[in-house]
Every structure is written in structure tokens, then in C-alpha cells.
Amino acid sequence: MNAQSRKIEVNTVEDLLKRLEQLNVIGASLSKERDTTRLLEQILLAAKAITHADGGTVYSMAEDGETLRFEILRTDSLKIAMGGSARQAIDFPDLPLRTAKGAPNDSMVAAYAAIHRVTVNINDAYAEPNFDFSGTRLFDQSTGYRSKSFLTVPMRNHEGDVIGVLQLINAQEPGTSDVVAFSAADQQLAESLASQAAIALSNRLLMTQLEDLFEAFIGLINLAIDEKSHYTGGHCQRVPALTMMLAEAVAGTSEGPMAAFVMDDLARYELKIAGLLHDCGKMTTPVHVVDKATKLQTLFDRMELIDTRFEVLKRDAEIAALRQQLALRPVLDAKAESLAASNARTLQLALDSDRDFLRATNIGGEVMRDADVDRVRDIGSRHVWRSVNGLQTGLLSVDEIENLCIRKGTLTAAERDIINYHIVATIKMLEKLPWPKHLKNVPEYAGGHHERMDGKGYPKGLTREQMSVQARIMGIADIFEALTASDRPYKPGMKLSQAMGIMNKLKLDGHIDPDLFDIFLKQGIYRQYAERFLNPLQLDEVNLPM
């Protein structure tokens, strides 16, 4: 063997060892990729690199197992990049595995490789009699390209099913652009890569299916909450959306106190799941408390009962006046009779005034003043009515007085505790689940959205320093969604200016994270959310200092 031959042999061995090393690196890289599209692109680029191919295509098997779908296409010399990360989408029709008559589509090399689960290595497509390359010829005529060598490898999963096809075109002599046939070593490397790729792709597809199933279960939980209370069902969808919008803005910040915050795909998915589950504990909250639209509402609005009592009082007053008139009729003149009737009307007007006051108080739209609370209690004790049992009792029960004297909103302290318990229930439920490593923070993220930066929140009274950025982000999203939601039973959705004014006050009061709120404001996340989810009538100008 002469020196030249030994040099070629050494170079060949070195090249093969280098390519085997590449194959190992590629295999490890493929196992880490979560995105299916990027995974397919990596497979093609890796196969081109280790076989020195100028171009290639990755096909995926359609769900019905009857067609191959174009996924990624690359040809370096023509600067063609379609599918995957390329801007240009692939608009080629799917490749059928059977003809119109139902016979195997053996004339198409990619279909043949998938149907028969074999690798097809062709030295020159133009000289190949067994396959139809007419479409390839037309492509070459229109581009000036010369498609010559083809290596088509089926990708089979651990069960032996074909899940895609890897096709490489025009192997090139290393260091040159000369097109050569794919060697036996090229074929072995491509087949090894296809095997590794199929395993990685199958694992990713299986993980995707499991994630889809998991998210479907989360959807069932939120649907149950939605069916239980249509007032809060949309909240379970809007808060995660706003959480991710703000999180992406924070992750994209390169300056200021939040510049160090970053998220990879796993972190994004973890936060997304936490957002979807942040109110799962509401399954335990009684619906009459969640939906309490007025102060007296339980299973129904008890203001109707009080209305009935007022009507009884008015009729009692009228009957009493008529009886007095009848008893004194022999000695009463017309003037005295008119005076008695007038007194009865005055009493009825006073009763109407008290009833109208209670009706307005029951709505809970305004903060109760001390004078209002005193008047409720006075009405409850001053008016005495006779019940159906013939017993005389105060107009309002102790429970009704307690509810009507609620200073703000429609919930009593006990009912607010019931509402607040949903976050405790959320944490208990989520901590029972065997979370994988990449989702281990879900309970903390989901369970922290009612904490405050000053430590006055619930359920744990955490301070800002004790909370994750993600939980603080979710806290802002939860409050802003509640302020602007138009499907609550106790209030209309606020306009942007009013909601952002309240949010700014919460920032100053130590309720929400000031740095996160500044990003929320300055990057216009609130308006992006509003344009997507709110009524156009709520979209007014926000004039807060940036």
C-alpha cells in the first residue's frame, strides 16, 4: 500500500470516527428537545451533517397512517429552507401510501421506504427504473438543480411502527461540492441516527400526549368550577393568559431589578400549569357564597322576604287605621276621619322609605357609613310585625341585620373566610400530587397569588422576599382580572383607568410587587390583555406616571 493510499485510509477512518462522535452528541441533544418541530429540524440537520448531504426532507406519518406529511425541507446549494424555523411554510400535498385503487404506492421512494420499512439507497435518480422521479425532474428543470443520489430511511419507534421518513439528497465529497453516492457508512450512520431520532420523537410525542391528557384533566376541573358558578368560570382561563403575558414581558426585560429573571420552555410550562390550577380549590367553596350577589342572598335573595314583611306592616297600619275609624265613626267628623287616613298614609310612606333604603343597602355597591349601619339596626328593632305563628318579632333577624350591615361588598366575615379557604384547599390538593421535577413548583406558584408583599396576605402571610417571582406575577394577574371582569355577580367590570388606578394604589400600599407592576404598566401588558379580553367600552386612557 503506497503512501497516498494510506493517507486516504487514515482520512477515511478519522472522518468516520468524527462522524460517530457527532452521532453521539446528536443523540444526547435530541433526547433533551421538547418541541416536536425543532426536534424534526434537528434530525434533518444532523443527518445532513454526518452524511455530507446537500439537501433533505423529513416526513411525518399522519395520524391515519395513510399519508406522509412534509415537515422540514432544506437544500443548501439552492438556499431553500421550508418548514420548521424557516419563515416559508411547506405547501406540498401529503404523499399517499396507497394509490387510488388501494394498491401500495411503491412508485414513490419515500412511500416505498415507509410501506416496506426498508432503507432505499439510490446512486442516480435519473438512472433508477423502479421509482417515479418525474416530479424531481420537473423541479430540477425549473431550478437548474441536479438531483442525483438519494438515501431514504424509515424512522421506526420501539414498537416497530413507522412514524416518519428521513430522506437525504446529493451526498458531497468532503471539502468539495462534487455529488457522489451515499456510502455504506453513510447509510449505517443515517440508519443509526434515524433509530435514535425515532426514539426521541416517540418519547416526545408520548410526553405531548400525556401533557395533553393532563391539561384535559385540568380543563375538566375548570369546567366543573364553571358549571358550578358561571360567574367565575372565565376567571380560570383569563388569569393564566394574563400571567403568561406578564411573565414573558418580565423575562424579556434586560434592565432594572427584574433583568435576571429568565424562563426556558420547562419553566413556561410549569407556570402555565400553575395558572390553570390556581383556583382549583374553589371546587370546595359553596356555590351560594361564590355567587353571592347581594348581602341577603343565600339560596335566594332574602330581600323578597323583607319586602313581604313591609307589605304586612303597611296592611296592618291600614287595617288599624280603618278599625279606629269604624270604632269612632259615631263621634268623628269628616276632619278627624281625614286626619286618621293622613296618618296612615304618612306611616306607609315611612315604611316605603325604610324598605327602599334596605333594598339599596342590600346591593352592596357602596361602603357603609356608621349612620347607615345605625339605621339598619334601628329599622330592624323599631318595626314589629306579627309572624305567621302569631308572634310579634322585630322586622329583621339577627342574621339579616349582620348581612345588611356588611361595610363593603356582599360577604360577611365568615363567608369571606369560606372564600379565602379556597386557596388553602388549592395548596392541599396540589401538594398531594406526585409532581415531576419540572413541575415541582406548581403548588407554590398557584398557592401564593393571595399573598401580599408586606406579609399581610393569606394563607401563609409571606413577604415579598419569601415569594417566587412567578407567584408575585400571578398575584398581579389575579387582581387585575378580578377588577376588570364583567361577569361578576356583585359588580360591573371596571374601566382600565379605574382598575389601573386601584392597582397603582395597591403597589404603593405594599400589596403587589412594585417592580412587576412597573413592567405591567410601562410595557402596556394591561392594554394588550384588555384588547383581547375586555369589552371595548372598558378601554379608556390610563394616565399614570411611567
161-206: per-residue pLDDT in tens?
898 999 999 999 888 889 999 999 889 888 888 887 777 777 777 8
Domain 229-284+416-538, CATH homologous superfamily name and number: Hypothetical protein af1432 (1.10.3210.10)
Assess contact for 379 and 306: CB atoms under 8 A.
no
Average pLDDT over residues 295-315: 70
* Residue of 12 and 134 predicted with greater confidence: 134
d(CA 226, CA 236): 8
Q: CA dist 242 to 134, 237, 317, Å?
A: 52, 9, 58
Residues 6 or more apart whose Cβ sits within 8 Å of residue 88: 81, 82
pLDDT, position 339: 54
| DSSP collapsed to 3 states, 111-129 | HHHHHHCCCEEECCHHHCC
CA-wise closest residue to 453 among 463, 466, 442, 440: 463
- Cell 388501494 locates to 102
Other beta carbons within 10 Å of 74: 23
What pLDDT does residue 33 have?
61
Which residue, 142, 190, 194, is CA-closest to 20? 190
CA distance 246 to 240: 10
Q: Please tell me the CATH code under which domain 18-207 is placed.
A: 3.30.450.40
Highest mean predicted confidence (pLDDT) among 247-256, 287-296, 304-313: 247-256
Q: What is the DSSP letter of 53?
A: E
DSSP states of 384-429: EEE-TTS-EEESS-HHHHHHHT-SSSS--HHHHHHHHHHHHHHHHH
Of the pLDDT bands very low, low, confident and very high (cuts 50, 70, 90), residue 507 is very high
pLDDT grade, residue 2 (50/70/90)?
very low
Q: Which of 238-252, 269-283, 320-334 has the highest mean pLDDT?
A: 238-252
Model confidence at 55: pLDDT above 50: yes
**Phi, psi (5° rounding) for residue 301?**
-85, 115
370 vs 128: CA distance, rounded Å: 96
Average pLDDT over residues 61-86: 92
- Bridge partner list, 57: 73, 167
| Distance set, CA 424 to CA 124, 281, 450, 458 (Å) | 69, 7, 10, 9
> Would you place residue 233 in the very low, low, confident or very high pLDDT band (cuts 50, 70, 90)?
low
- Angle (deg, nearest 10), helices 184-228 and 36-51: 170
> Is 120 in contact with 109 (CB distance < 8 Å)?
yes
How far is it, in rounded angstroms, from Cα 279 to Cα 243?
14
Give me the phi and psi of 524, to 5 degrees please: 65, 25
Q: Quick one: average pLDDT of 38-61?
A: 88
- Please report the DSSP string for 193-219 in residue order: HHHHHHHHHHHHHHHHHHHHHHHHHHH
In the prediction, which pLDDT does 223 show?
77
Which helix (H) or strand (E) segment holds residue 380: the answer is: helix 370-382
In which band, very low, low, confident or very high, does the pLDDT at 5 lie, cut at 50, 70 and 90? very low
Peptide bond into 129 cis (omega under 30): no
User: Alpha-carbon distance 483 to 491, whole Å?
Assistant: 9
Q: pLDDT confidence of 27, banded at 50, 70, 90?
A: low
* 171-175, 293-297, 395-399: which is most confident: 171-175
Where on the phi/psi map is residue 277: left (φ > 0), alpha (ψ -120 to 50), or beta? alpha
What's residue 202's pLDDT?
Answer: 79
The least confident of 44-58, 207-221, 313-327, 520-534 is 313-327
Q: Is the pLDDT of residue 240 over 70?
A: yes
Quick one: pLDDT at residue 356? 84
Cα separation, 474 vs 271, whole angstroms: 9
Range picked from 83-87, 146-150, 428-432, 535-539 for highest mean pLDDT:
146-150
Domain layout of the chain by residue ranges: 18-207, 229-284+416-538, 303-410
- pLDDT above 90: percentage of residues in the chain: 39
